[in-house]
Amino acid sequence: MLQQEMADMLNKQLNREFFSAYLYLEIANYYSDQGLDGFANWFTIQTQEERDHAMLFRIYLLNNDTHVQLMEIPAPNQSFSNPKMPLEAALEHERYITSHIHELYAEAHRLKDFRTVQFLDWFVKEQGEEEKNTNDLVKRFELFGEDPKGLYLLDSELASRVYTAPSLVLD
Ligand code: FEO
């Protein structure tokens, strides 16, 4: 069983991952409304990945005989006035999530909870990838997204993204 302090932090992170899924669904909805189905596809897959992250925290808590405390998920309440804004919001959000993963990691070390450290290793790496992917998208939008043809091609490319399950498997 995990120490209570660690369990509370992991439960809060589970909630944040579900909020991330909710935020990216809001973004996918925005792009669908705009007729940018490729961007909508990219963020719908992002939503699936965030749900997976939340479920990994759930499985880890359960596997360690620790109560899973489900909490309210706030509404994203975002409003976007151009197609670049959601990308910047997503990047800011990923940086926020990274800061929390690092806090968890530091706390697990402080508590000498090395099993949790090992579990979180995957998330530390994953956050590096998530930030890079989102930052790349912002940069590519800045290069091509203001031009209608460029935006069309970028949207077509993002339409080809397919969902793959996370590489971290807990049994
Ligand atoms: Fe689960 Fe995008 O962080």
Structure confidence at residue 29 (pLDDT): 98
Show the 3-state SS of 53-69.
Answer: HHHHHHHHHHHCCCCCC
Give the burial class of 43: count Cβ atoms within 10 A of its Cβ; 0-12 exposed, 13-18 middle, 19 or more buried. Answer: buried
Compute CA 166 distance to the chain's CA centroid, rounded to the nearest angstrom.
Answer: 12
Does ligand 1 have an atom closer than 6 angstroms to the CB of 16? no
Structure confidence at residue 133 (pLDDT): 97
Does ligand 1 have an atom closer than 6 angstroms to the CB of 120? no
What is the distance in A from the centroid of ligand 1 to the CA of 47?
9
pLDDT band at 171 (very low <50, low <70, confident <90, very high): low
Give the burial class of 29: count Cβ atoms within 10 A of its Cβ; 0-12 exposed, 13-18 middle, 19 or more buried. Answer: middle
pLDDT tens profile 1-23: 899 999 999 999 999 999 999 99
Give the burial class of 50: count Cβ atoms within 10 A of its Cβ; 0-12 exposed, 13-18 middle, 19 or more buried. Answer: buried
Does ligand 1 have an atom closer than 6 angstroms to the CB of 94? yes
Atom 1 of ligand 1: nearest residue by CA position: 50
Q: What is the C-alpha to C-alpha distance for residues 158 and 155, in angstroms, rounded to an integer?
A: 5
pLDDT tens profile 65-114: 999 999 999 999 999 999 999 999 999 999 999 999 999 999 999 999 99
Tell me: pLDDT of 170 over 80: no
pLDDT tens profile 42-55: 999 999 999 999 99
